Structure 1
Amino acid sequence: MSSCWTSGHYRRVAGPRRPYSARVTRLVVAAGGGGDAVAAAMLDAALYGPENPAVVLTYAWDRLLVDPVPGPRTPADFTSLGRMAPGVPAITASTEPVPPAGSTLPRLARELPQTFALIDPRHGVQGVTGQLAELVEQLHPESVDLLDVGGDILAHGDEPALRSPLADALTLAACHRLGAPVRLLVAGPGLDGELTAETLRPLLGRLVTTFTPEHAAAVDPVLEWHPSEATGMLAATARGIRGLCEARDTGFPVPLTDESPTVHEVDMDDAFKRNSLAQAITTTTTLTAAEALSREICGFSEIDYERDKATGLASAPPKSFEPESTLTRVASYEHQARARGVTHTTFRHLTEVLNLPGTHRDILKALLLTHCPEQYTPPLWHIPPTT
């Protein structure tokens, strides 16, 4: 069987399969890019095991932790791309970002068994929908899942803690517009620090799975270097870590509970009706138009935030890394965090709170692991109580 598209709806017709459909495939759409792509590999391991790894359709959007250029990367920002379908590039083991751009996707492609296809948001929701349509026609997947870690894909758009609505809204609107069956999954309710688990709980449907240490092990090597906080906390809770974790540049407190490693299904229509931005951008043909609607509906654009932050980082004088003073400042932070009831933090947050550039994150981590290895609860940093 092959497929075609009529009036935006999917139907099967007789015809030959194309090369990528030689094996049964699953397609997972990483709603926000970044850590959602790593979580997609965990989901694939949890639901289907190691046979015939999924195709993960994801943004190359690592924010400023890895990529000094604001906004999502496009195919022009990479060399040696493969091709999943005429309009869908694939990240291969040979793919590299074109400087000054940066991306975690090429390394993910080298280290994980899943195939990573690149979302190109330049043409708005209609463009992403077209990419999805091509992939479904090419792959004939047995399932299509849209995965969001944290649950901010269920935001109205006016929540005070909302930070990154545009990426999720683009993929939600595209999957809703597709017309083919797509299952919306939320993993780690509240772990992204945008909507709380309490807010999300009544919106979640049936429990699909609960991640275990075995599932986390599928991405353990990746999380040693990947900067995603939400997916890092997801993997940590899958291994049984509980407590209160400070994350993001603002030190947002995220509870790590028995609910944290769960994955729930959410009704796609309900999610779309709830997400004001997804509804508004559904007919957009450019990222610029979608971004303008984000400013109008949410009061901001996450790409504007990145632009402003990138300007500040570019004008900041270079900083040297001084191990002894850094250890003293970490101890001071831990003392204050302990008083707030904090039990864990991310290395991204530590880097931010110490006012270190993102390029110093790995140096900071190596320093701390050398001096206090017992406080490392992968991939988080443990803040033990005073003894």
Structure 2
Amino acid sequence: MSDLFIAAGGGGDPIGTAITAIAMSARLTTAGPGGAHGTAGPDLPVVATYSWERPEVDPTPGPLGVRDFTGLLDRPEGHVLTPAARAVAPAGSTLPRLAADLPVRLVLLDPYEGLAGLAARIRRLAEACGPGRVRIVDVGGDILTHGDEDTLCSPLVDALVLAACTLADVDATVHIAGPGTDGEIPQDVLLDRLDRLAGTDDRSAPTPGHAQAAYRALAWHPSEASALFAAAVLGVRGTVRTVGRAIPLTDASAYVRNTGLEAAVAENPVARGLLESRPRTVDEAADLSAQLTGIHEIARERRPTAPPTPSTAPFPADAHRARERIRAQAGDVSHVTSRFATRALGLPWQRIPEVRTLLGDDGPVHALH
């Protein structure tokens, strides 16, 4: 082992981080849609990640910690997720299945030890992985938030990683995979920041083969940012309708842009605030983030909502009717995500594989024209 990769955003970020890690590690073996995947040699890239997912996946508020899983493997590099791991009900997590379908070793980050505890955990992870660097990967780029963007949704988790890596004093760089694909900072704004911080030459481009290593995960996972990043790497261009908004896919969407840890912290007011206050709990960190950005991610998930009800929508009879229903809700765009497509059809995200089969699409997003 060498480099440690950290999926800074949780949710579906392990998928985009895996693509980035495989590209950087140069260990990919040939893999096609629905085919075999893996990396050469006995070692897999190590990807550390939170388990903090949208409420339709995990109905409990906030991230999950080690205490919320059974079946984790306690290894020198940390608490390793395997296909046999399970989130303790009523919590839910896609990480065990991702552990089966991504050619990386997934390690759980537990933010419930406070900022100092998270920093200590990352330091031990980096030491266990060997002499390489810590590579913080954020799919989309909200890790470079200024905290005042109208479309910002989730500033806390990325800021926690920046602050913890700074406190841990590890040799770290920040990688933005698919700038703008999370829809939280407009792509043109984000690219201006990256050009100022890193320069236009500080970039890399994963190949379609690297993206294909994540096909098994993308075939069922509701991630949208990682799906857009993979689609861009595979050559898709146009406007993609996600559940939240329409997002452009450009040549820039297919790149991984790099900057330094110190430069990223200087951009991110939440990361700086965390380093000043050293919160001892996740709730304290969330309170601080809310003071600085007006977004309290845990309180948002604690608000009472109507419990989800099983969908009674009939499965579409044919692909033509399904596309017409999807197109009617998508508007004037060229593509939609699998999550948007299932929602437009009145179906839960768990039926993504069936919808993909119906539409005859094996790529990360679905073409409408």
TM-score of Structure 1 vs Structure 2, range by shorter chain = 0.7 to 0.9
Asked if residue 304 in structure 1 is aligned to residue 338 in structure 2, the reply is: no
1:147 aligns to what SS in structure 2?
A: strand
Matched pairs, number? 347
Structure 1 position 40 matched with structure 2 position 31? no
How many Å apart are 1:239 and its aligned residue?
Answer: 0.9
Residue 278 of structure 1 deviates from its aligned partner by 1.0
**1:336 offset after TM fit, Å?**
5.5
Q: Is the 8 A contact 2:61 2:298 kept in 1?
A: yes
Report the CA distance between 1:263 and its aligned residue: 0.5
In structure 1, what is the equivalent of residue 235 of structure 2?
Answer: 240
Q: Look up the match of 1:11.
A: none
- 1:60 aligned onto 2:51: yes
> Please, which of 262, 266, 269 is the counterpart of residue 262 of structure 2?
269
Alignment partner, residue 148 of structure 1 = 138
Structure 2 counterpart of 1:278: 271
Deviation at 1:175, TM superposition (A): 1.4
- Give the secondary-structure state (helix, strand or coil) at the position aligned to 1:43: helix
Residues 1-387 of structure 1: pairs in structure 2 closer than 5 A: 24-50=1-27, 51=40, 52-85=43-76, 88-204=78-194, 205=198, 206-248=201-243, 250=244, 252-282=245-275, 283-308=278-303, 311-314=304-307, 316-324=308-316, 331-335=324-328, 337-338=330-331, 340=332, 342-354=333-345, 356=347, 360-363=348-351, 366-367=354-355, 369-370=357-358, 372-373=359-360, 376=361, 378-384=363-369
**Cα 1:293/1:352, change in 2 over 3 Å:** farther
8 Å CA contact 1:65–1:227 kept in 2: the answer is: no
Q: Which runs of 5+ in 2 are unaligned?
A: 28-39
Map of 1:3 onto structure 2:
none
Asked if structure 1 preserves the Cα contact closer than 8 Å seen for 2:154 and 2:295, the reply is: no
How far apart are the structure 1 equivalents of 2:329 and 2:129? Answer: 52
Which AA in structure 1 matches 2:349?
A: R
Matched to 2:55, the amino acid is L
CA distance in structure 1 between the partners assigned to 2:23 and 2:149 by the alignment? 31
Cα distance change of structure 1 residues 337 and 139 upon mapping to structure 2, 3 Å threshold: closer
Q: Is the 8 A contact 1:207 1:262 kept in 2?
A: no
Is the Cα–Cα contact under 8 Å of residues 344 and 383 in structure 1 kept in the other structure? yes
SS in 2 for 1:349: helix
- Closer/same/farther in 2, CA of residues 377 and 364 from structure 1, 3 Å limit: closer
SS at match of 1:259: helix
Contact 2:342/2:351 (8 A) holds in 1: no
Post-superposition shift, 1:36?
A: 1.7
Counterpart of 1:81, as a letter, is: L
* Cα 1:46/1:92, change in 2 over 3 Å: same
Alignment-mate amino acid for residue 31 of structure 1? A
Q: CA RMSD in A?
A: 2.2
- Per-residue deviation at 1:164? 0.7
Q: Sequence identity, in percent? A: 36
Using a 3 Å threshold, how does the CA distance of structure 1 residues 295 and 355 change in structure 2: closer, same or farther? farther
1:298: how far off? 1.0
Contact 1:330 1:354 in 2 (8 A): no
Amino acid at match of 2:189: T
Question: Letter of the aligned partner of 2:132 in structure 1?
Answer: E
Q: How far apart in 2 are the matches of 1:178 and 1:124?
A: 13
Kindly indicate whether the alpha-carbon contact (under 8 Å) linking 2:218 and 2:364 is maintained by their aligned counterparts in 1. Answer: yes
TM norm structure 2 = 0.87
Task: Tell me the alpha carbon deviations over residues 89-141 of structure 1, each in whole angstroms, 9 at most, x when there is no partner.
Answer: 22123212212211111112223332111110113322210111111233324
More displaced stretch, 236-245 vs 130-139 = 130-139
Q: What SS does the corresponding residue of 1:191 show, helix, strand or coil?
A: coil
The answer to whether the 8 A contact 1:247-1:346 is kept is: yes
CA distance in 2, matches of 1:106, 1:43: 20
TM superposition shift of 1:208: 3.3
Matches of 1:333 and 1:92, distance apart in 2: 35
* Secondary structure in structure 1 of the residue aligned to 2:5: strand
| DSSP-derived class of the 1:294 partner | helix
Residues 274, 352 of structure 1: alpha-carbon distance in 2 compared, 3 angstrom cutoff: same
Instruction: Give the direction of change, closer, same or farther, for the CA distance of 1:259–1:100 in structure 2 (3 Å limit).
Output: same
Q: Deviations over 1:176-215 (max 9, x none)?
A: 2221210111110100001111111122224331122111
CA distance in 1, matches of 2:329, 2:66: 44
Question: What amino acid is the match of 1:378?
Answer: G
Provide the C-alpha distance between the structure 2 equivalents of 1:332 and 1:320, rounded to a whole number of angstroms. Answer: 16
Question: 1:8 — aligned with what?
Answer: none
